[in-house]
Amino acid sequence: MSDYLVKALAYNGQVRAYAARTTGTVGEGQRRHYTWPTASAALGRAMTAGVMMGAMLKGDNKLTIKIEGGGPIGAILVDSNAKGEVRGYVTNPQTHFDLNEQGKLDVRRAVGTEGTLTVVKDIGMRDHFTGQVPLISGELGEDFTYYFVTSEQVPSSVGVGVLVNPDNTILAAGGFILQLMPGTDEETITIIENRLKEIPPISKLIEQGLTPEELLETILGKDQVKFLEKMPVSFTCTCSKDRFANAIISLGKNEIQEMIEEDGQAEASCHFCNEKYHYSKEELEELKKEAE
């Protein structure tokens, strides 16, 4: 079943909610970067949070998330937009550890806790909005929760989970974001806090095959949720051979001439999707002419 995301309101508009199934999307990231299980969980959690945060934007707006925790996985980078499109990578995709004390993939150890979570929003203005918070757990769900509360002053709860098969492929992935609107009454806050304590871990709910709608109904109560919108989610990269060609042209004719003389060709690789683009000697000659 394909990936998608839902937007909803709950408790008479006091709560804004998002939930997504990202199994295929995270699976595409895993396949393209050959990530090992712990790295897959870290990248998948970040991409799942990223795609829901992107859904909070409008039009052609987009955002970039950078997580640098000082752990062996290195930096995690995720791009997403308002259309349900997301892409991402980790610096060291072949990172894996034994399960932690809870029997789960040890994302905290891979990501590290000595660093920051940065969100840069491109909302079509000259200056981008940048929010940055210290990592408080390295498990990422709690870190995104802390980001919303601290940087955007929106009381929120973020749950993201990824399950990995023995052959390293993705079994299930997804998550939710709940946000309290200004003026939410204390009774509603208490109900939600109690429900969040009672429900199974997000990864368990995803493993049970709950749809994004069922996920929100389980967390918030079936009769409390009003669904507003549903949108497809996918791993989508904006790279292309033309884009890399423009980058080569921008190096200038002397640099391109060096490529022709030294290698007689060129290859460019996209960090985000691992796609490789080859340029023959003839193509480089054409790019050199354009650079002139």
List, for residues 201-221, the tens digit of each pLDDT value.
888 898 898 999 999 999 999
pLDDT value of position 266: 87
Alpha carbons within 13 A on the beta-carbon side of 133: 19
What's the CATH code of the domain at 15? 3.55.30.10
Which residue matches tokens 């200056």? 127
Its domain, for residue 248, covers: 241-291
Mean pLDDT of the region 277-290: 88
Quickly count: other Cβ atoms within 10 Å of residue 170's Cβ: 24
User: How many other CB atoms sit within 10 Å of the CB of residue 11?
Assistant: 21
**Judgement on whether residues 142 and 125 belong to the same structural domain of the protein:** yes
- Which of 29-38, 129-138, 188-197, 253-262 is the least confident region? 253-262
**Cβ atoms of residues 176 and 158 within 8 Å:** yes
Across the range 6-25, mean pLDDT stands at 96
CA distance linking residue 143 with residue 163, whole number of Å = 19
Q: Which amino acid is at 21?
A: R
Most confident option among 74-78, 127-131, 179-183, 242-246? 74-78
The residue among 235, 262, 281 that closes a domain is 235
Single-letter residue type at 173: A
Residue 62 and residue 207 share a domain:
yes
Please tell me whether residues 189 and 283 are part of one structural domain: no
Residue 1 has pLDDT above 70, yes or no: no
* pTM for this predicted structure: 0.91
The total number of residues shown for the chain amounts to 292
Q: What does the pLDDT average to over 9-33?
A: 96
Which has more pLDDT, 225 or 183? 225
Residue 170 near residue 44 (C-beta atoms within 8 A): yes
Judgement on whether residues 45 and 81 belong to the same structural domain of the protein: yes
Mean pLDDT of 227-250: 92
Residues 253 and 152 in one domain: no
Q: How many domains does the chain have?
A: 2
194/266 same-domain check? no
∠ CA 125-130-135 to the nearest 5 degrees? 160
User: Same structural domain for residues 77 and 125?
Assistant: yes
The last residue of one of the domains, among 198, 214, 235, is: 235
8 A C-beta contact, residue 168 and residue 30: yes
- Quote the tokens at residue 70: 């000082």
Query: In this predicted structure, what is the pLDDT of residue 142?
Result: 95
In this structure, what token pair is assigned to residue 121?
Answer: 């929003």
Check whether 259 has a pLDDT greater than 90.
Answer: no
Tokens describing residue 43: 């990248």
Out of 219, 235, 251, pick the residue that ends a domain. 235
CATH number where 272 lies? 3.90.1280.10
